[in-house]
Amino acid sequence: MDIDLTILQAFESIRTPALDAFFLLVTQFGEAVILIPALCIIYWCFNKKQAFFLALNFFSALILNHILKITFCIERPWLRWQGKIAPVAKAKITATGYSFPSGHVATATSVYGGIALWYRKNKKIRVAAIVLILAVSLSRIYLGVHTPSDVLASIFAGLILLFLNLRIFNRITANPEDDKKFLLVSLFVLILGLIYTFYKSHWNPSMEILWLDGIETMGTAAGVLTGWYWEEHRIRFQPIRRVGPAMIVVTVGLAGTFLILSVIGKFLKAIFGILSGNFLCYFLIGFWIIGLYPYLFNKILNPVSDEKYVH
């Protein structure tokens, strides 16, 4: 019997309503619903460089995960072993697309691993980050939406990206004149990713879901990169660290993000169609978070100098 199936069946046999609720909560720590607001808070209110490093890890993990999914086209466990394994029903709702590898685990490894690297001298933060990676990984197996092989491959890929991105980040930090080259190369890679997404043959009938996953990820990444370059050269805002103004900044910034997603996005999709409209919508979200919104609040508020908060 397949070892992946055996392990999944073992976890299925110990499921309880309480454990289901616990792991449904834990698994959200690998989702954009938590990671994006967290990155926004770090960027707007604490440390720009740290936030960019984590964002670099986050988006590269999502993009690599998407490319691997549409390359290997491996079914979800309950489709691969029909009648032998069933996922937790509520987890199945967000488990769209292919199974290999796990996006939750890849992003958790890249982001929380990035935090562990950034604070490598702080044992408590390092341990907490590792625990989060392992918890998210375990949750995907317990919920029955990924196999152990999916999870292990994602951890491996996430760690490779983590150390590769650390080298890239250190080079850009040490040689600011290379940032334009980094921007152009990154945008070129995104274009190749979009071309591959559209021209790769899929046997999965839900083609549009696969396209939209890639478009949303690469659109946001393109917006983040463009906003980052603009911010580095024209804005150079300082994070808002005073509690009162910071709370206002976060609330307004996240509200603006939601407005783009729910209102402006619908307008763009109505004009340009579902695919192009979605790309523009997510591009605007990335650009808003990294460039446009900091430009606006930088004109209004008087932040504390960054130099006092170097980690």
What does R_g of the chain's alpha carbons equal in angstroms?
20
SS3 content of the chain, % helix, strand, coil (to 5): 80, 0, 20
CA 120/CA 79 separation, integer angstroms:
41
- For 41, the domain range is 3-309
Return d(Cα 286, Cα 255) in angstroms, integer. 14
Whether 190 and 220 have beta carbons less than 8 Å apart is answered as: no
Residue pair 253/293 in contact (Cβ under 8 Å)? The answer is yes
pLDDT recorded at residue 206: 53
| Helix/strand/coil for 144 | coil
Tokens of 33: 């619903």
| Number of domains composing the chain | 1
In angstroms, the CA 202 to CA 18 distance is 38
Task: State the average pLDDT for the chain.
Answer: 89
Q: Which two tokens stand for residue 211?
A: 């396209």
CA distance 238 to 251: 18
Query: Residue 237: its pLDDT value, please?
Result: 87
Mean pLDDT by 10 residues, the chain (311 residues): 88 94 95 93 93 94 91 88 90 84 93 94 94 96 94 94 92 88 93 86 58 88 94 87 88 94 92 90 95 87 45 39
* Predicted pLDDT of residue 306: 42
pLDDT value at residue 21: 95
Nearest to 296 by CA among 247, 249, 264: 249
Of all residues in the chain, the percent with pLDDT exceeding 70 is 93
